[in-house]
Protein backbone atom coordinates (compact mmCIF):
# COMPACT_ATOMS: atom_id res chain seq x y z
CA UNK A 1 0.00 0.00 0.00
CA UNK A 2 1.48 3.34 -1.11
CA UNK A 3 0.07 6.59 0.21
CA UNK A 4 0.87 10.27 0.28
CA UNK A 5 0.34 11.74 3.75
CA UNK A 6 -0.47 15.44 3.29
CA UNK A 7 0.43 16.96 6.65
CA UNK A 8 -0.31 20.57 7.64
CA UNK A 9 2.87 21.75 9.38
CA UNK A 10 3.74 24.77 11.44
CA UNK A 11 6.94 25.21 13.38
CA UNK A 12 5.22 27.17 16.17
CA UNK A 13 2.04 29.08 16.95
CA UNK A 14 3.13 32.23 15.07
CA UNK A 15 4.40 30.51 11.90
CA UNK A 16 2.35 30.31 8.69
CA UNK A 17 1.08 26.75 8.14
CA UNK A 18 2.19 24.87 5.02
CA UNK A 19 1.37 21.44 3.59
CA UNK A 20 4.06 18.82 3.34
CA UNK A 21 3.45 15.68 1.23
CA UNK A 22 5.18 12.63 2.63
CA UNK A 23 5.24 9.32 0.69
CA UNK A 24 4.56 6.33 2.93
CA UNK A 25 4.60 2.66 2.03
CA UNK A 26 3.47 -0.32 4.09
CA UNK A 27 2.22 -3.90 3.69
CA UNK A 28 0.67 -3.86 7.14
CA UNK A 29 -3.15 -3.69 7.01
CA UNK A 30 -3.27 -2.65 10.67
CA UNK A 31 -1.18 0.49 10.09
CA UNK A 32 -2.93 3.66 11.24
CA UNK A 33 -2.27 7.38 10.82
CA UNK A 34 -0.78 7.23 14.33
CA UNK A 35 1.61 4.36 13.60
CA UNK A 36 2.64 6.04 10.33
CA UNK A 37 3.40 9.33 12.13
CA UNK A 38 5.36 7.41 14.77
CA UNK A 39 7.33 5.51 12.09
CA UNK A 40 8.21 8.74 10.26
CA UNK A 41 9.38 10.41 13.49
CA UNK A 42 11.32 7.35 14.69
CA UNK A 43 13.07 6.87 11.35
CA UNK A 44 14.19 10.50 11.10
CA UNK A 45 15.28 10.12 7.44
CA UNK A 46 11.99 10.45 5.56
CA UNK A 47 11.97 12.84 2.58
CA UNK A 48 8.88 14.62 1.24
CA UNK A 49 7.80 14.52 -2.42
CA UNK A 50 10.00 17.57 -3.11
CA UNK A 51 13.06 15.82 -1.63
CA UNK A 52 13.16 17.87 1.59
CA UNK A 53 13.76 16.26 4.99
CA UNK A 54 10.55 15.69 6.97
CA UNK A 55 12.20 15.69 10.39
CA UNK A 56 10.16 15.29 13.57
CA UNK A 57 6.43 15.91 13.27
CA UNK A 58 5.00 17.24 16.53
CA UNK A 59 1.83 15.37 17.57
CA UNK A 60 0.31 14.11 20.83
CA UNK A 61 -0.34 10.48 21.69
CA UNK A 62 -0.22 8.10 24.59
CA UNK A 63 -2.26 4.88 24.60
CA UNK A 64 -2.51 4.20 20.81
CA UNK A 65 -5.66 2.25 21.73
CA UNK A 66 -8.54 4.78 21.55
CA UNK A 67 -8.39 5.27 25.29
CA UNK A 68 -6.76 8.64 26.01
CA UNK A 69 -8.04 11.04 23.32
CA UNK A 70 -4.61 12.70 22.93
CA UNK A 71 -4.21 11.91 19.22
CA UNK A 72 -7.38 13.73 18.03
CA UNK A 73 -6.78 15.58 14.75
CA UNK A 74 -8.57 16.32 11.47
CA UNK A 75 -8.05 13.39 9.10
CA UNK A 76 -9.36 13.78 5.58
CA UNK A 77 -11.59 16.62 6.77
CA UNK A 78 -13.08 14.76 9.74
CA UNK A 79 -12.10 14.96 13.43
CA UNK A 80 -10.83 11.54 14.46
CA UNK A 81 -8.34 9.73 16.64
CA UNK A 82 -5.20 9.05 14.64
CA UNK A 83 -4.82 5.66 16.35
CA UNK A 84 -8.26 4.67 15.03
CA UNK A 85 -7.78 5.89 11.44
CA UNK A 86 -6.52 2.94 9.38
CA UNK A 87 -4.44 3.74 6.31
CA UNK A 88 -6.28 1.05 4.33
CA UNK A 89 -9.36 3.34 4.41
CA UNK A 90 -7.48 5.77 2.15
CA UNK A 91 -5.57 3.32 -0.04
CA UNK A 92 -7.94 3.61 -3.01
CA UNK A 93 -7.66 7.42 -3.04
CA UNK A 94 -3.89 7.26 -2.48
CA UNK A 95 -3.73 10.36 -0.24
CA UNK A 96 -4.84 11.34 3.24
CA UNK A 97 -4.79 14.87 4.66
CA UNK A 98 -3.76 15.33 8.30
CA UNK A 99 -4.37 18.64 10.11
CA UNK A 100 -4.57 19.82 13.72
CA UNK A 101 -8.01 20.37 15.29
CA UNK A 102 -9.21 23.81 14.19
CA UNK A 103 -11.17 25.07 17.21
CA UNK A 104 -8.09 25.28 19.45
CA UNK A 105 -4.87 27.34 19.22
CA UNK A 106 -2.10 25.42 17.46
CA UNK A 107 1.10 24.91 19.46
CA UNK A 108 3.14 23.26 16.67
CA UNK A 109 2.36 20.92 13.74
CA UNK A 110 -0.54 18.69 14.96
CA UNK A 111 -0.45 19.73 18.64
CA UNK A 112 -3.20 22.04 19.86
CA UNK A 113 -3.81 23.64 23.23
CA UNK A 114 -7.02 22.08 24.60
CA UNK A 115 -6.76 23.65 28.04
CA UNK A 116 -10.09 25.47 27.48
CA UNK A 117 -11.77 22.08 28.02
CA UNK A 118 -10.42 21.94 31.56
CA UNK A 119 -11.07 25.64 32.20
CA UNK A 120 -14.72 25.07 31.28
CA UNK A 121 -14.96 22.12 33.65
CA UNK A 122 -13.59 24.37 36.42
CA UNK A 123 -16.34 26.92 35.71
CA UNK A 124 -18.95 24.18 35.95
CA UNK A 125 -17.27 22.78 39.08
CA UNK A 126 -17.61 19.37 37.52
CA UNK A 127 -16.33 17.28 40.37
CA UNK A 128 -17.88 15.19 43.10
CA UNK A 129 -18.99 17.04 46.24
CA UNK A 130 -20.03 13.94 48.10
CA UNK A 131 -20.66 10.27 47.52
CA UNK A 132 -22.21 9.17 44.26
CA UNK A 133 -25.75 7.88 44.67
CA UNK A 134 -26.33 4.47 43.20
CA UNK A 135 -30.01 4.49 44.03
CA UNK A 136 -31.14 6.16 40.78
CA UNK A 137 -32.88 4.41 37.94
CA UNK A 138 -30.88 1.70 36.19
CA UNK A 139 -31.37 3.64 32.96
CA UNK A 140 -29.67 6.70 34.49
CA UNK A 141 -26.80 4.63 35.83
CA UNK A 142 -26.24 3.16 32.39
CA UNK A 143 -26.27 6.63 30.83
CA UNK A 144 -23.84 7.95 33.45
CA UNK A 145 -21.57 4.99 32.71
CA UNK A 146 -21.75 5.77 28.98
CA UNK A 147 -20.95 9.46 29.67
CA UNK A 148 -17.92 8.42 31.73
CA UNK A 149 -16.31 7.11 28.54
CA UNK A 150 -15.69 10.70 27.37
CA UNK A 151 -12.01 11.07 26.41
CA UNK A 152 -12.05 14.90 26.40
CA UNK A 153 -10.57 14.59 22.92
CA UNK A 154 -12.41 17.63 21.50
CA UNK A 155 -13.63 15.94 18.28
CA UNK A 156 -17.23 16.93 19.09
CA UNK A 157 -16.25 20.60 19.47
CA UNK A 158 -14.66 20.59 16.03
CA UNK A 159 -18.02 19.93 14.35
CA UNK A 160 -20.26 21.78 16.82
CA UNK A 161 -21.79 24.85 15.11
CA UNK A 162 -22.40 26.53 18.47
CA UNK A 163 -19.05 26.04 20.24
CA UNK A 164 -16.23 28.59 20.21
CA UNK A 165 -13.49 28.69 22.87
CA UNK A 166 -14.17 31.34 25.51
CA UNK A 167 -17.91 31.60 24.71
CA UNK A 168 -20.71 30.76 27.13
CA UNK A 169 -21.71 27.44 25.49
CA UNK A 170 -19.33 24.64 26.47
CA UNK A 171 -20.30 21.86 24.02
CA UNK A 172 -20.62 18.09 24.22
CA UNK A 173 -17.26 17.46 25.90
CA UNK A 174 -18.49 19.33 28.98
CA UNK A 175 -22.01 17.99 28.95
CA UNK A 176 -20.82 14.38 28.90
CA UNK A 177 -19.09 15.00 32.21
CA UNK A 178 -21.76 17.24 33.75
CA UNK A 179 -24.52 14.85 32.72
CA UNK A 180 -22.72 12.05 34.48
CA UNK A 181 -22.75 14.04 37.72
CA UNK A 182 -26.32 15.21 37.25
CA UNK A 183 -27.46 11.64 36.86
CA UNK A 184 -25.38 10.24 39.73
CA UNK A 185 -25.40 12.85 42.48
CA UNK A 186 -28.04 12.91 45.19
CA UNK A 187 -30.79 15.49 44.67
CA UNK A 188 -29.44 17.93 47.32
CA UNK A 189 -26.05 18.13 45.54
CA UNK A 190 -27.52 18.91 42.14
CA UNK A 191 -28.64 22.50 42.75
CA UNK A 192 -25.47 24.29 41.57
CA UNK A 193 -24.91 21.85 38.73
CA UNK A 194 -28.44 22.51 37.47
CA UNK A 195 -27.72 26.24 37.22
CA UNK A 196 -24.44 25.84 35.36
CA UNK A 197 -25.93 23.15 33.13
CA UNK A 198 -28.77 25.50 32.17
CA UNK A 199 -26.38 28.42 31.53
CA UNK A 200 -23.50 26.69 29.74
CA UNK A 201 -25.16 23.74 28.02
CA UNK A 202 -28.96 23.76 27.81
CA UNK A 203 -29.23 27.39 26.65
CA UNK A 204 -26.63 27.04 23.87
CA UNK A 205 -27.13 23.61 22.33
CA UNK A 206 -28.90 23.64 18.95
CA UNK A 207 -29.47 19.81 19.07
CA UNK A 208 -27.93 19.37 15.62
CA UNK A 209 -26.23 16.21 16.99
CA UNK A 210 -23.15 16.54 14.79
CA UNK A 211 -21.27 15.66 17.99
CA UNK A 212 -22.91 12.23 18.13
CA UNK A 213 -21.71 11.36 14.64
CA UNK A 214 -18.02 11.99 15.33
CA UNK A 215 -17.61 10.91 18.96
CA UNK A 216 -14.88 8.22 18.98
CA UNK A 217 -16.15 6.93 22.33
CA UNK A 218 -19.56 6.26 20.78
CA UNK A 219 -21.40 8.38 23.34
CA UNK A 220 -25.04 8.78 22.35
CA UNK A 221 -25.20 12.53 22.95
CA UNK A 222 -28.86 12.66 21.87
CA UNK A 223 -29.98 10.30 24.62
CA UNK A 224 -27.66 11.93 27.14
CA UNK A 225 -28.86 15.43 26.30
CA UNK A 226 -32.52 14.58 26.47
CA UNK A 227 -32.23 12.82 29.86
CA UNK A 228 -29.91 15.48 31.33
CA UNK A 229 -32.23 18.25 30.16
CA UNK A 230 -35.08 16.51 31.96
CA UNK A 231 -33.04 16.10 35.17
CA UNK A 232 -31.81 19.72 35.04
CA UNK A 233 -35.25 21.17 34.32
CA UNK A 234 -37.45 19.09 36.56
CA UNK A 235 -36.93 17.92 40.11
CA UNK A 236 -38.64 14.61 39.65
> Residue 205, interface with ligand SF4 (CB under 6 A)?
yes
Q: Which residues contact 100 (CB under 8 A, 6 or more apart)?
A: 8, 73, 74, 106, 109, 110, 111, 112
152: contact with ligand FES by CB under 6 A: no
Find the binding residues for ligand FES in span 17-46 (CB under 6 A): 34
Size of the site for ligand FES (CB under 6 A): 13
CA distance 179 to 166: 21
116 binds ligand SF4 (CB under 6 A): no
Binding mask 161-190 for ligand SF4 (x = CB under 6 A): xxx-------xxx--x--------------
CA 202 remoteness from chain centre = 20
What is d(CA 211, CA 4) in angstroms, rounded to the nearest whole number? 29
Q: How many CB atoms lie within 10 A of CB 108?
A: 17
Q: How deeply is 53 buried, as exposed, middle or buried, from its count of CB atoms within 10 A (0-12, 13-18, 19+)?
A: exposed
Q: Note whether 156 binds ligand SF4 by CB under 6 A.
A: yes
Among 3, 54, 57, 70, binds ligand FES (CB under 6 A): 70
Sign of the alpha-carbon dihedral angle for 16, 19, 20, 25: positive
Q: How many CA atoms lie within 13 A of 165 on its CB side?
A: 15
Q: Binding to ligand FES (CB under 6 A): which residues in 79-98?
A: 81, 83
Position 70 contacts ligand SF4 (CB under 6 A): no
Q: Which span sits near ligand FES by CB under 6 A: 69-77, 135-143, 179-187, 224-232?
A: 69-77
Q: Which does 81 bind (CB under 5 to 8 A by kind): ligand FES, ligand SF4, none?
A: ligand FES
Residues that bind ligand SF4 (CB under 6 A): 69, 150-156, 160-163, 171-173, 176, 205-211, 215-217, 219, 221
Amino acid sequence: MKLILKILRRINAEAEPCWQSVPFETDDESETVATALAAICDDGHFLDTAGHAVGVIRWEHSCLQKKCGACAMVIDGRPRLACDAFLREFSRKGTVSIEPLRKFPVVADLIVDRSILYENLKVIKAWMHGDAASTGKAEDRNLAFEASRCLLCGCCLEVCPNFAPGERFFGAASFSIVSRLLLELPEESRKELRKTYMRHIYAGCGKSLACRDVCPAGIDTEKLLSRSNAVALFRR
